[in-house]
Structure formats: C-alpha cells, structure tokens
C-alpha cells in the first residue's frame, strides 16, 4: 500500500507547493515589477494621495458639477454587480428610463444619449461613449462656471480611441482632471444648476426626449427635475 500512497502524497504536496505558493508568488512579483499600477487595482488618487476609486470600476457621481457615469442596476456595488434583467416590455424599465431621461434632458441639447439611460451588463462599466459625456458639458460648465470650450478641450484630451468601437471616456479619470482644472465645492455647483433648472421645469417635463422621440409628461417627473440632494464629495 505504501508503494502507492508515498508517490500520491508526494505528488499532492509538490503540486500544492508549486500551484499554491511558487506560481502565485512568481506571477505577483512579475506583475509588481512590470505592471505595478495595474497589479494594484489601477487606483486613482487625489492630490492628497487619498484613493478615490479605480479606473476599472464605475462609481456614482450625483452632483451637477460632475460628469455622471452610466446607470448601474446594482448600485455600483462590486459584490452585487449585475444587469437589471428587465425585459424591454417591462413597465418598470420604461418608467425608469423615462424618469432618467426627464432628469437629464435640457432644452436645446437634443435627445438624451442611450448610454446615459441604459445599464451595462455588469453595472460597473467605467467608460461612456464620448457623445454621452459631451451631452453633459453645458450642465457641468454651468455648475462650475467654466466656459464650455475649456471643458470640451478637457474631454478631447481624456477621450480614448479603442481599435474596435466608438471613442470612449473614463468618467472617473475625467472628473479627477475636471477637479484639477476647475475645483469647486460640489454642493455649490449643484445649487447653481438646480436654480437654473427650477426656472424651466415644465419645459423639461414637456419636451424631454430620448432617441429622438418625445416623451409624454408623467407623474413623478417634477421632483426629479428639482435635482438630487445627494452630492458626490469628490
């Protein structure tokens, strides 16, 4: 029996040592030397060295002075990352999209880009198409009291051009660059934009558009147009 047991135990211990210790240590060491930023989570730090997030994971930006991320069905939680799993015929999905469109729409900017209304499969997609980010330029410029042209130049610098697909922008990285360009208290920026939006709530409600089709006013829209009291603190 020992004839079979000894080599079996020896093989099990050897494989445990190789695959459970030596190989992970080797890969970790190589990654720390060759790709230290990626190996440590592609973290984003502010000027004080505090971690503000990761360029690989989206997060919520709810103030008017910030570019907003793509909606997340899981609340941007990495533990609960998922899609909404609602079918196109589900009334709850239609109401949610209508509410978001009404809150995001601003007269003169055209239809709200679909990327600002639809969730990704994981709910953690950190990128937005450049068109969806550009749609937010007037709101952010008004909240920060910065010329739209300056933000347009910042957006062009932050735009990534993948080999396949349209140009995209990492929202977290863009907001960090935005804060360096034009720092402002998020609460002050939110108040400025809400004051402006409050002057035309009916216009927003009556003319909100999505993908070129006019939306009918619906109950519950007006509170959304007044803005959200929660603001991302940078």
pLDDT tens digits, residue range 63-98? 889 999 998 888 887 777 777 788 888 898 889 889
pLDDT at 108: 66
- The stretch 107-133 carries a mean pLDDT of 87
pLDDT at 185: 63
What is d(CA 123, CA 119) in angstroms, rounded to the nearest whole number?
A: 6
Contact 60, 67 (CB under 8 A): no
Q: Which residues are CB-neighbours of 47 under 8 A, at least 6 positions away?
A: 180
Span 162-177, pLDDT tens digits: 999 899 999 999 999 9
Burial letters 45-65, b for 16+ CB under 10 A, else e: eeeeeeeebbbebbbebebbb
What is the three-class DSSP state of 227? coil
What is d(CA 173, CA 158) in angstroms, rounded to the nearest whole number?
A: 8
pLDDT over 50 (residue 191): no
Q: How far is CA 132 from CA 1, 24, 37, 129, 157, in A?
A: 69, 40, 28, 5, 16
* pTM (two decimals): 0.68
205 vs 38: which has the higher pLDDT: 38
Taking CA 80 as the corner, what is the angle to CA 74 and CA 85, rounded to the nearest 5 degrees?
55
């Amino acid at each position: 029996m020992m004839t079979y047991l000894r080599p079996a135990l020896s093989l099990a211990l050897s494989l445990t040592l190789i695959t459970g210790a030596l190989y992970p240590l080797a890969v970790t060491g190589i990654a720390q030397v060759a790709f230290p930023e990626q190996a440590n989570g592609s973290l984003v730090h502010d000027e004080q060295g505090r971690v503000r997030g990761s360029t690989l994971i989206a997060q919520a930006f709810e103030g008017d002075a910030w570019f907003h991320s793509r909606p997340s069905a899981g609340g941007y939680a990495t533990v609960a990352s998922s899609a909404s799993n609602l079918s196109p015929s589900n009334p709850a999905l239609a109401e949610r999209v209508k509410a978001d469109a009404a809150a995001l729409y601003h007269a003169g900017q055209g239809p709200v880009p679909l990327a600002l209304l639809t969730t990704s499969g994981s709910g953690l997609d950190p990128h937005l198409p450049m068109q969806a980010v550009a749609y937010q330029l007037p709101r952010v410029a008004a909240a920060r009291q910065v010329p739209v042209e300056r933000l347009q130049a910042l957006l062009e610098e932050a735009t990534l051009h993948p080999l396949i697909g349209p140009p995209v922008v990492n929202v977290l990285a863009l907001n960090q660059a935005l804060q360096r360009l034009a720092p402002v208290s998020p609460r002050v920026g939110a108040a400025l934009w809400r004051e402006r939006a409050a002057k035309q709530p009916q216009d927003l409600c009556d003319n909100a558009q999505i993908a070129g089709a006019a939306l009918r006013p619906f109950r519950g829209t007006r509170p959304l147009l007044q803005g959200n009291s929660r603001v991302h603190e940078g």
